């Protein structure tokens, strides 16, 4: 506690063309839990963005000239530097997001896994042989494909997982031979700027990775419309994702947008296994995870037993300062967000939902909240709460629960607990989501798996191998023998 609470306030310049860049306007980053300053940086303007894109053009040329082996070794070097400085990265993530230090440490550790997976994919970057003589006119010809980098990738990343979600864009881009202009969330830029130091120390080509900080609308629009940016990869809200799609033109676009993840509990599920996973899935990082459990559909035969145990487990979570090792629940990213979540809870209760536990707010912190009998039209049911709130409803037949899961504009991930493999796969085939977790919560993710949604949850897939496919172009080479 003392080490974190007395940390040195540091100013991080932006990083462009391998150089550290300041501006006339500084920006203070604060700890969401209590508003205390934790660091600062500088703000970019349109000309700064232009410089970053031009630097990235040169960086893209340099990255494309590296061999697969050289790109893999570069990424492994960066991963080793993060592993060496894991405490430093964990500290910054905790400070800027307000997530408990043990969760921040987990994010920093996963970032090493993400970069390592991207390095492995860099070694495996390949095309395929095309059987040209499968057509009559192909006789005497051979063909092959190669994958080539797109060029400059614009990465726009969110506040909730500021390092690892950024690396899900940056690491595959570099592995594929692209360069990156990265705009992190204004509230959480420190870990990205600290990552730039690792890139510099690893001696990456100048301009391979560039970080700019500033107004999302100005810089985001500039990235999306710049003709020298070949692709935009964005994680954030549905309205902004739609606006990016509207103005991107022929640019490649990957969008990771909203979610409203659901979990089905069949009558034969093991509640001893369910309870700890449901608590984690619903309340980790105060629900500020894209695949947080927001809706639970429990079978009528087990709903009372489940709810009784779920409430007790939620009430046993420790609420406190994020620097404390014992803290399970800290603050949301801002008090305004906590006020919004509190309002949504109150609206649900006024509409007939039962408040089983939680619901109260202290500054930016919301106590873990469990609601029952929530109307499907309530905002906590049909929108993305992004807070520590979960709605528990009852069903009698599995297809009813599946229909309820699908009654959403989102479709990122869902989960089901059951010992019946046929029912599990029936649900998996019929739930309209990008990923189904059997006997686990939808919040589960390993960093090399394909990750992305359907409907308004976005388009494209992340996970290093799948992101590399999005960030490269297939070229055919055909010759006469």
Give the Cβ contact number of residue 404 at 10 Å.
Answer: 17
405 Cα distance to chain centroid: 22
What is the residue-wise DSSP string for 417-448?
Answer: E-S-HHHHHHHHHHS-SSEEEETS-TT---TT
Longest dimension (CA), the chain: 76
Could you give the count of Cα atoms lying within 13 Å of 435 in the half-sphere of its Cβ? Answer: 27
Are 277 and 161 part of one and the same domain? no
pLDDT tens digit string along 402-424?
A: 999 999 999 999 999 999 999 99
Identify whether 269 is a catalytic site residue. no
Are 311 and 226 part of one and the same domain? no
**CA-CA distance, 104 to 466, in Å (whole number)?**
25
Q: Which residues contact 6 (CB under 8 A, 6 or more apart)?
A: none
pLDDT at residue 379 in the model: 96
Q: Which SS3 state, helix, strand or coil, does residue 187 take? A: coil
On the 0-12 / 13-18 / 19+ scale of CB atoms within 10 A, 57 is middle
Residue 395's CATH number: 3.40.309.10
Residues paired with 446 in a beta bridge: none
CA distances from 84 to 80, 81, 87, 112, 331 (A): 6, 5, 8, 10, 28
Are 66 and 104 part of one and the same domain? yes
pLDDT tens digit string along 239-248?
A: 999 999 999 9
Q: What average pLDDT does range 155-167 have in this prediction?
A: 98
**CA-CA distance, 205 to 193, in Å (whole number)?**
17
pLDDT over 50 (residue 1): no
CA distances from 279 to 212, 285, 328, 362, 388 (A): 36, 11, 11, 21, 10
Identify whether 290 is a catalytic site residue. yes
Q: Is residue 432 part of a domain?
A: yes
Instruction: Tally the domains of the chain.
Output: 2
Q: Are strands 365-366 and 361-362 parallel, antiparallel or unpaired?
A: antiparallel
Q: Is residue 103 part of a domain?
A: yes
Are 280 and 221 part of one and the same domain? no
Q: Is residue 72 part of a domain?
A: yes
For residue 98, which of 9, 166, 182, 190 has the smallest C-alpha distance? 190
Task: Using the CB atoms, write b or e for 308-327: b if 16+ within 10 Å.
Answer: ebbbebbeebebbbbbbeeb
Q: Is residue 448 part of a domain?
A: no
Element (H, E) at 395: strand 389-395
pLDDT at residue 27 in the model: 97
Are 243 and 282 part of one and the same domain? no
**CA-CA distance, 179 to 202, in Å (whole number)?**
15
pLDDT at residue 401 in the model: 98
Are 125 and 163 part of one and the same domain? yes
Output the six-digit token pair for 72.
Answer: 């893999």
Q: Are strands 252-256 and 458-459 parallel, antiparallel or unpaired?
A: antiparallel
Q: Is residue 380 part of a domain?
A: yes
pLDDT over 60 (residue 303): yes
Average model confidence (pLDDT) for the chain? 97
Are 221 and 179 part of one and the same domain? yes
Q: Is residue 405 part of a domain?
A: yes
**CA-CA distance, 166 to 278, in Å (whole number)?**
26
Are 169 and 200 part of one and the same domain? yes
Residue 117's CATH number: 3.40.605.10
- pTM of the full structure: 0.96
Are 238 and 286 part of one and the same domain? no
Catalytic pick among 103, 107, 121, 256: 256
Q: Is residue 162 part of a domain?
A: yes
For residue 116, which of 82, 66, 157 has the smallest C-alpha distance? 82
Output the six-digit token pair for 268.
Answer: 């034969």
The residue length of the chain stands at 481
Are 248 and 388 part of one and the same domain? no
Q: What percent of the chain has pLDDT over 90?
A: 98
Range of the domain at 345: 261-438
pLDDT tens digit string along 28-64?
A: 999 999 999 999 999 999 999 999 999 999 999 999 9
**CA-CA distance, 309 to 276, in Å (whole number)?**
10
Catalytic pick among 290, 337, 384, 462: 290
Are 192 and 272 part of one and the same domain? no
pLDDT over 80 (residue 291): yes
Residue 7's pLDDT band (cuts 50, 70, 90): low
Q: Is residue 420 part of a domain?
A: yes
Are 124 and 10 part of one and the same domain? yes
């Amino acid at each position: 506690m003392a080490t974190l609470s007395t940390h040195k306030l540091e100013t991080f310049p932006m990083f462009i063309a391998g150089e550290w860049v300041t501006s006339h306007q500084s920006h203070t980053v604060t700890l969401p839990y209590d508003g205390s300053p934790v660091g600062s940086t500088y703000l970019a303007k349109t000309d700064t963005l232009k410089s970053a894109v031009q630097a990235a053009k040169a960086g893209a040329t340099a990255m494309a000239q590296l061999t697969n082996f050289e790109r893999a070794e570069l990424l492994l070097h960066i991963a080793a530097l993060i592993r060496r400085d894991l405490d430093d990265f964990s500290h910054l993530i905790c400070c800027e997001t307000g997530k408990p230090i043990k969760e921040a440490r987990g994010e920093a550790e996963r970032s090493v896994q993400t970069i390592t997976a991207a390095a492995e994919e860099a070694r495996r970057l390949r095309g395929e042989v095309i059987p040209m003589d499968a057509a009559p006119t192909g006789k005497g010809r051979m063909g092959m494909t190669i994958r080539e980098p797109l060029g400059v990738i614009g990465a726009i990343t969110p506040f909730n997982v500021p390092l690892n979600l950024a690396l899900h864009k940056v690491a595959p881009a570099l592995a594929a031979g692209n360069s990156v202009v990265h705009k992190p969330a204004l509230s959480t830029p420190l870990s990205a700027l600290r990552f730039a130091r690792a890139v510099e120390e690893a001696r990456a080509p100048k301009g391979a990775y560039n970080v700019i900080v500033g107004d999302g609308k100005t810089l985001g629009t500039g990235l999306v419309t710049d003709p020298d940016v070949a692709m935009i990869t964005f994680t954030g809200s549905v309205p902004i994702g739609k606006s990016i799609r509207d103005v991107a033109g022929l640019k490649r676009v990957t969008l990771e947008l909203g979610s409203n993840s659901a979990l089905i509990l069949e009558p034969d599920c093991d509640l001893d296994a369910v309870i700890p996973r449901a608590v984690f899935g619903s309340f980790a990082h105060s629900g500020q995870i894209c695949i947080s459990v927001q809706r639970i559909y429990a079978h009528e035969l087990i709903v009372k037993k489940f709810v009784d145990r779920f409430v007790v487990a939620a009430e046993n979570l420790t609420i406190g300062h994020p620097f404390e090792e014992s803290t399970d629940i800290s603050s949301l990213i801002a008090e305004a967000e906590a006020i919004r979540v509190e309002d949504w809870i109150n609206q649900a209760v006024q509409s007939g939902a039962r408040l089983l536990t939680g619901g109260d707010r202290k500054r930016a912190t919301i106590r873990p909240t469990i609601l029952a009998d929530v109307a499907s039209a309530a905002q906590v049911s049909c929108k993305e709460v992004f807070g520590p709130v979960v709605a528990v409803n009852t069903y009698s037949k599995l297809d009813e629960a599946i229909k309820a899961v699908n009654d959403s504009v989102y479709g990122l991930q869902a989960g089901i607990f059951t010992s019946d493999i046929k029912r599990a796969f029936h649900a998996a085939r019929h739930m309209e989501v990008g990923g189904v977790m059997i006997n686990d919560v939808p919040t589960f993710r390993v960093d090399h798996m394909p990750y992305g949604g359907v409907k308004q949850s976005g388009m494209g897939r992340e996970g290093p191998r799948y992101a590399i496919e999005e960030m490269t172009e297939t070229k055919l080479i055909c010759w006469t023998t």
